[in-house]
Chains A and B, each alone.
Chain A
């Protein structure tokens, strides 16, 4: 097979990928509907800069209040269903913690009256989806922990 043919075939395949996407969403097709949430969870997230997990969960019937206006973060909690579809991506505020890799595992420090702790322990509110299968923490593109959806439901008392 000639290289030029391979090149053309590759370009054509790339084209097909683009068009396949367009076919799904192009034209006048409406955007996919947001998955419906069943209230929200308040999660207790604990760990350090390299490993995060959920240690407590509380279910609230009130709707999730969303992300503060304008807030972005390199740290994200991604909630996915069993097929891997992302149901929500919640940016995490770790500004109160000491994220210096050299300080990991060490005791907290105090400057003035501000505590800087390498040990992360915080509350995170997220929408509650019945179809949630995993809760994955990322720092940039680095995975720093995944929690099974069933485990979160169990922590919240099960049934949701």
Chain B
């Protein structure tokens, strides 16, 4: 029986000590408001009503003072009441000392300062404060003791005697606003650097608050921050210096800015998601709701793609997609709080914005993009066969007809049609929401240099397909080219030409191609000669034992040799450059009377001392209709 009674007593004690969480002031969601938390220390269970009264008295006083009055709707206030075993706080400096068993172990004479009332069990206090629906990291503590006192750090602590409201609002100035004490101790001189706090300075003119000079008695008054000399305060008197007076303009501004840095004054908006799809021709309404007091003259502005929309100053905005191109745009609403309490706001804490990413699409348009692109090899040498893999997707509301997927190599960004062309594929059609995986095999050109190349996949280069927007039709990768083997090669170096060993020139309209000799290992000074013929490549023409140029000589060969380096065969005979390249140009004028002829070019190398040293592969040149 005795055990049972003991157990019941323990249970009763535990129940009595269970914390009680109450929301005294609920102005809005915790996400949009400054959530203030107040704890109780030195209140026994039967004194919970006293704690509630103390909190109400404090809040009444707090919200009758500026800047809290103006921004009263910005705060939620929660209390967490955990009963103490005894009332009051420790008085270790009393004779004899007084010790009280309280939940957070509040004590006077903290740090040896008699009036400094602070809590010792901060761990328990934080754990209890965390029970509140939300917090901003700062916690107020009401201590049930009649001896004057208070102190501030993470916690703003005050006794609950006659000056409770003034003391707690002062301590809140430290805790919430990071404000300094403005009072001084006699015969003390400050010798440190410029303080971080906004309300004290080493500047005898108060440069820090120059934007307030001449208003509300703001100037510069020596004596602040516990020093009689060397530190200045903004106003002759302020709540951060003496109880019973108002906060000065500088302190009010700081508290207002801290509060506004935390709250989100735009507390509702539609559409509710930040990413919005809009179809061309269908206007979209955007709305915001805010709680900036009317007396603060809130200024609403709307921007589309960063440009202010003239006349759009209400909480509703009708976005007309016909005024912008198809594609992705931004719509931004902003509310500027123009409260006279804040004059300087470099970090724009008084401005709240809501941004939507708006995709304007055409219901009749496809939307091609490249979700994946890669090469079978990254490290390559000239002539390497590679396989390029690309996935093409149509995210648009309409199907795409036939379009090309092409590949380019370029040593620099961006690619152009003059970049090295790696060929392409044709996709006959791609339905809405469908994707296709392509594999494109190509042998890299021999003229590649040892360097990094940008590798591009380009979809619908000619804009054949009608798309909502055209700015996502390429994707980039890379190839690293190393030095290649010592070979003598001939290939075409022409825009949009792949493979590099076949070209066609019209005999009717004429045309130009650029046969290029590649002989990276040739000795300096080596000469090259490009010859042509229209009679096939085999058996070719033997120049020396084991050295046969793959051209069967005919009248075209004779024509080429007779007019080499002339208007038709420019730079067909020359000296290889420092990179071992010989760049030639074949220009066929229109209507020369030549017949349709399948022909070939081939190159041979000539060393001035040794004679013929190498021959190249043939490349096809078709003189077509």
Question: A residues near B, CB below 8 A?
Answer: 8-9, 11-13, 15-16, 18-20, 22-23, 26-29, 42-44, 46, 55-58, 60, 62-65, 68-71, 93, 95-97, 107-117, 119, 121-125
Q: In the complex the two chains form, is A71's CB within 8 Å of B261's CB?
A: yes
Docked pose: A124 CA to B450 CA in angstroms: 54
Docked pose: A9 CA to B378 CA in angstroms: 13
Q: In the complex the two chains form, is A60's CB within 8 Å of B476's CB?
A: no
Query: Inside 8 A of B134's CB, which chain A residues have their CB?
Result: 42, 60, 62, 65, 125
Q: In the complex the two chains form, is A68's CB within 8 Å of B183's CB?
A: no
Q: Does B480 contact A (CB under 8 A)?
A: yes
Q: In the complex the two chains form, is B454's CB within 8 Å of A19's CB?
A: yes
Number of contact residues on B: which range applies?
A: 35 or more
> What is the minimal beta-carbon distance from A30 to any residue of chain B, in angstroms?
9
Docked pose: A64 CA to B436 CA in angstroms: 41
Q: Does B205 contact A (CB under 8 A)?
A: no
Per CB-CB distance, the 6 closest pairs between chain A and chain B, nearest first, are: A28-B472, A110-B111, A19-B478, A70-B347, A15-B452, A115-B153
Query: Inside 8 A of A11's CB, which chain B residues have their CB?
Result: 452
Q: Does B471 contact A (CB under 8 A)?
A: yes
Question: B residues near A, CB below 8 A?
Answer: 29-32, 110-113, 115-116, 118, 122-123, 126-127, 129-131, 133-135, 137, 139, 150-154, 170-171, 174-175, 178, 180-181, 183, 226, 258, 260-262, 264, 347-349, 369-371, 373-374, 378, 450-452, 454, 471-478, 480, 482
Of the residues B111, B137, B347, B451, contact of A109 by C-beta under 8 Å: B111
Query: Inside 8 A of A64's CB, which chain B residues have their CB?
Result: 31
Docked pose: A58 CA to B21 CA in angstroms: 14
Q: In the complex the two chains form, is B153's CB within 8 Å of A96's CB?
A: yes
Given that A69-B347, A114-B174, A124-B137 are contacting pairs, would A44 and B123 also be in contact in the complex, using a CB cutoff of 8 Å? yes
Q: In the complex the two chains form, is A115's CB within 8 Å of B116's CB?
A: yes
Query: Inside 8 A of A122's CB, which chain B residues have their CB?
Result: 126, 137, 154
Q: Specify the chain A residue showing the minimal Cβ separation from B125.
A: A121
> What is the minimal beta-carbon distance from A154 to any residue of chain B, in angstroms?
15
> What is the minimal beta-carbon distance from A71 to any residue of chain B, in angstroms?
7
Docked pose: A16 CA to B370 CA in angstroms: 20
Which one of B134, B153, B482 has the highest number of Cβ atoms from chain A below 10 Å of its Cβ?
B153
Given that A15-B452, A22-B476, A108-B111 are contacting pairs, would A121 and B130 also be in contact in the complex, using a CB cutoff of 8 Å? no
- 9 A–B contacts, CB within 8 A, in A order: A27-B474, A28-B474, A44-B126, A65-B32, A70-B348, A96-B175, A110-B112, A111-B181, A115-B111
Of the residues A16, A62, A69, A121, contact of B261 by C-beta under 8 Å: A69
How many inter-chain contacts with C-beta < 8 Å in the A-B complex?
A: 164
Query: Inside 8 A of A111's CB, which chain B residues have their CB?
Result: 181, 226
Docked pose: A115 CA to B245 CA in angstroms: 23
Query: Inside 8 A of A125's CB, which chain B residues have their CB?
Result: 134-135, 137
Q: In the complex the two chains form, is A12's CB within 8 Å of B480's CB?
A: yes
> What is the minimal beta-carbon distance from A55 to any residue of chain B, in angstroms?
6
Q: In the complex the two chains form, is A70's CB within 8 Å of B153's CB?
A: no
Docked pose: A16 CA to B171 CA in angstroms: 58
Given that A65-B264, A110-B112 are contacting pairs, would A23 and B476 also be in contact in the complex, using a CB cutoff of 8 Å? yes
Q: Specify the chain B residue showing the minimal Cβ separation from A108.
A: B111
Of the residues B126, B171, B260, B477, contact of A123 by C-beta under 8 Å: B126
Q: In the complex the two chains form, is B127's CB within 8 Å of A44's CB?
A: yes
Query: Inside 8 A of A57's CB, which chain B residues have their CB?
Result: 130
Docked pose: A124 CA to B110 CA in angstroms: 25
Q: In the complex the two chains form, is B154's CB within 8 Å of A113's CB?
A: no
